[in-house]
Structure 1
Amino acid sequence: MATIRNIGLIAQLRSEASRHVIRYSSGRVRQSGRGLVFWFRPETASISEVPVDDREMTLFVRGRSRDFQTVAVQGTVGWHVVDPELLARRVDFSINLATGRLQGEPIEQIEARLSGIAGQAVLQYLGAAPIGALLDAGPEPLRVILEAVLASAPALAEIGVAAVSVRLTNLAPTSELERALQTPTYEALQQKADEATFARRALAVEKERAIAENELATKTELARRETLLIVQETQNARDRAAGLAEAQGLEAAAEAERIRL
């Protein structure tokens, strides 16, 4: 915003480097440039101040796909003024000579034109394809189309404005449709999760069965060995008894023979 200092019948205007100031007098351009500082007579002057810095506007368009599904596109469009004097002739950028403020809303007019051009291109793009193809492609193809449309739009060139960038942050259906589209994928993932759970359970059951069989085989082997041990101990006892009896018999026979002799 320009700074104006009034001193009696004359005033001084001081503008910023990012503003292009045009002073008219008697219908002719008397001064034109960026960051000007000059004296003027308010009763005979008309001054316009055009911003020449890069600006961004929010873009939000809601349209329908070819299969009648609602799709929302959101992003930003960057623009700047390339011909300030041409723009000042087409759009009113005159300022109040007492306060230095713009008397109208010229920026809103320019952004409305930008929004209209971009919105029409977005609606045409969305209406040419079904929802599935739009979501699979994502926002990048639309961004390229928007850049080309805005760069070649005669409605912008004729007022001295140019679009410098297009960024799309979102291309999405309604929340209800998004949930519906997510359902098959969610169900497939859930099915895979269930299959993995069942596989883990089956593996756990198989391991438990193998452990039980191993424990049973171990118990069987221990029982068999215990049986063999009992049999062996019994046989050993029998052998000891037989040996003892035989020894006692030999001793008795020897004693009897001694007595006989």
Structure 2
Amino acid sequence: MFGFKFIKFQPSEYVLKYRNGKIVREGAGISFYYYVPTTSIVLVPIGSVDSPFIFEEVTSDFQTVTVQGQVTFRIVDQKKIAGVLNYTFDMKKGKGYVSDDPQKLPQRVINIVRVLTKKTIENLELKEAIKSSEVLASEILSNIKKSEEIELLGIEILGLSILNIVPNKETARALEAQTREQILKKADEAIYERRNASIEQERRVKENEYNTEIAVENKKKQVRETQLEAERTFQQKQNELKQEKMNFETALEEKKRSLVDISVKNSKVRADAKAYELSAVMKSLEGIDSNVIQSLASIGMQPNKLAALALQELAENAGKIGQLNISPDLFQEILKGRN
């Protein structure tokens, strides 16, 4: 009525009431009457604002990555930002602003974040950048709080988080392939190490078996050496016994030889005596008729021998005999006497 209106604001809204270019009232969540022709209202939100962002940057090895995150801020100096951006309340509509400057503030903050992100990312290689989300967020937050532009806008950065840093699809597939190959390589190495461990364990078992066999063979060798030593001692004893036996037999043979020598000497003496006896007999028979000698020799001779001598004389005088008959009975008698 008559150009006067009543308005009420929320506690999260800071109000600057201007009249004729001067602030006549200010505060958060206030309400008042105002005269439309001479009053201007600046409405600055004082609550925190979450501004998500996503943009692409290039790493030091010329690989494109997409950075996704969120920055949280709030306006702490309402007069300072009102002097930079137009936050004049649209009193005709009873809502909103007469300018789109308030909608530009989040983008300004995001642009500052992007500049700081670019400065950090371009010093990192792709693999380092992908793994540096927390480090990147901490460094950007530290730098943005020191930013002069943020201070001129009268805002406070409450927090900044980097949700994701990803390469493009082709690079991601290449990295996945490389990582997959590394995983497969590690799996192969694990299999190789497991096989090596199995081979090493088997080698130890074989080595223990061989050591056991060597120990057994050494024991067998010791037993064999002991047996050989016993056999050598036994053979030595046998050789000693054989030597003693040989010495005994040698001594016996020596005695036998001495006995034979004595026997030969005795036989020679007997032969000499017999020869002397025969020589004496032959000398005594010299000049005696052979028939007489034969007759003397036949004394005491067996009948069959006498018959044989008779037949011998008949054979010697066969030329003088005309006819001679000998009966079978005579031969039987001779043979009986022979038997």
TM-score, normalised on structure 2? 0.53
Corresponding position of 1:19: 13
Letter in 1 for 2:39: A
Residues 57-96 of structure 1 mapped to structure 2, 5 A cutoff: 57-96=51-90
In the alignment, the residues of structure 1 paired with residue 103 and residue 157 of structure 2 have an alpha-carbon distance, to the nearest angstrom, of 15
Kindly indicate whether structure 1 or structure 2 has the higher relative contact order, using CA contacts under 8 Å at least 6 residues apart: 1
Cα deviation digits, residues 71-119 of structure 1 (max 9, x gap): 1111000000111122112210001112232122233221122112111
Corresponding position of 1:109: 104
Residues 1-261 of structure 1 mapped to structure 2, 5 A cutoff: 7-98=1-92, 99-136=94-131, 138-190=132-184, 192=187
In the alignment, the residues of structure 2 paired with residue 121 and residue 76 of structure 1 have an alpha-carbon distance, to the nearest angstrom, of 14
Letter in 2 for 1:117: I
Partner-residue secondary structure (3-state), 1:66: coil
Structure ranking higher in helix proportion: 2
Unpaired segments ≥5 residues, structure 1: 1-6, 200-261
Cα deviation digits, residues 155-196 of structure 1 (max 9, x gap): 111121111100111011112111101112213444638x96
- What is the number of residues matched between the two proteins? 192
Partner-residue secondary structure (3-state), 1:56: strand
Displacement of 1:51: 0.2
Q: Are the counterparts in 1 of residues 85 and 102 from structure 2 also a CA contact under 8 Å?
A: no
Structure ranking higher in strand proportion: 1
Letter in 1 for 2:180: Y
In the alignment, the residues of structure 1 paired with residue 161 and residue 178 of structure 2 have an alpha-carbon distance, to the nearest angstrom, of 31
Partner-residue secondary structure (3-state), 1:43: helix
Displacement of 1:124: 1.2
State the Cα RMSD in Å: 2.1
Partner-residue secondary structure (3-state), 2:26: strand
Unpaired segments ≥5 residues, structure 2: 195-339
Q: Are the counterparts in 2 of residues 61 and 122 from structure 1 also a CA contact under 8 Å?
A: no
In the alignment, the residues of structure 2 paired with residue 86 and residue 127 of structure 1 have an alpha-carbon distance, to the nearest angstrom, of 33
Q: Are the counterparts in 1 of residues 18 and 24 from structure 2 also a CA contact under 8 Å?
A: yes
Partner-residue secondary structure (3-state), 2:153: coil
Cα deviation digits, residues 42-79 of structure 1 (max 9, x gap): 01001110000011111212110111000111100000
Q: Percent identity?
A: 20
In the alignment, the residues of structure 2 paired with residue 67 and residue 188 of structure 1 have an alpha-carbon distance, to the nearest angstrom, of 21
Partner-residue secondary structure (3-state), 1:100: coil
